[in-house]
Structure 1
Amino acid sequence: MATAPAAAPQAAPSGGSKKKLIIILAAVLVLVLVGGGAAFMLLKKKPAEDAEDGEDAEVSEVAKPKAKAKSDHPPTFVPLDPFTVNLADKDVDRFAQIGITLEVHDPKFAEQIKAYMPAIRSNVLMVLSHKTAAELLTREGKEKLAKDIMRESVRPMGIELDDEDEAPATGDAPKKKKKKKAHVESPVTQVLFSNFIVQ
């Protein structure tokens, strides 16, 4: 009988220690979840504060691409009918067939582009007709053409972008461009080529 009463007191602390262990584990789990949630909220809030600080600073060009990356809606694409144009080569008759799509950030601006489409097509044709086959066959020539098309595609709507191609030719042009770039941002974010044939 001496062994039976001794076993009873040992069972009672064992049952109580299991309850304590469960309570401690539950408390630790709650603390981990609360701490993880707080860390998540702080990390999520910090980039938003950084974006606000970037807009207040003079580095507006850096803040604007961040806003585009966080946009809830995808970019809008405005395809233009394919262009077939004679090139400016003097020795031989050459032509180009080019498919162009304009990427815009705002769907409302895409509708505005469609309203000005005849003037935009005319401007793009004028740019293409002054190019030679040698200019269009290089990567640099295609990039320059994309910049020219971006500039000419918004001109009918009264948006004047700087002519970046004339910057190396004149010393005064880069200073003027920097001033205009800070004030005027193109609503056309990118010019994409869907078809590019030079013959």
Structure 2
Amino acid sequence: MPLSFAAATGTTLTREKTAELYISIFVNADASGASALNEAHRAYHGEDELNVDAVPTLNETAAQAYAIYLLKAVPPARQEDMKAPFEKFSKAVFDDLQRTQCRATGSSQALNEYVKGSLVASVDYECSVVDVSKRLAALKEKYGKTPEEAMTSPALVTEMAEAFADETATRPFRGKIRLHSRAGSECWLTSSPDEARSDVLGALLEPVDGILH
């Protein structure tokens, strides 16, 4: 199913509202945002392009995949010990992603030099992400492990999971979403619907760099 959705519901949605709907789907796993974009697409193109039923489990599925990814980096002899800690850590991270609140703050547009009659736009947004920087720095000092050693420390990974679960969203993050219009159409779309998801997740995981990565 193509990952590109129209952005109008009866009356055309603004660039900012379109971006916020994409964020609600791919960051917050909000099915109502997907329904709104499907309705918009039908208004202009007569069909749905997004499976609304799949949206609520986006982060759950991603958490499972991330835990598997981490586990594959562990020597086989230690994988059984690390399975539960990695699952707990991954769940905490993606639970935080789903709770992250973002809003569009402005946008700009220009002619699309590649498609006649089409526009391109950039929408700025800001979020508050969970701030685990101090907790993770303290854990790194407490355990004093290299990333390779940390990957096989159940206690460290479990405490990291608890940090993500406990801390509040106080760290600001700013990003952009790129949109475009179809030639002769007033609705906005994106070729990278999970762009914000990737960027916000990267912001969440930034304090992990140097510990597990």
TM-score, structure 1 normalization: 0.29
Higher RCO (CA-CA < 8 Å; seq separation 6+) = 2
- More strand by percentage: 2
- More helix by percentage: 1
TM-score, structure 2 normalization: 0.28
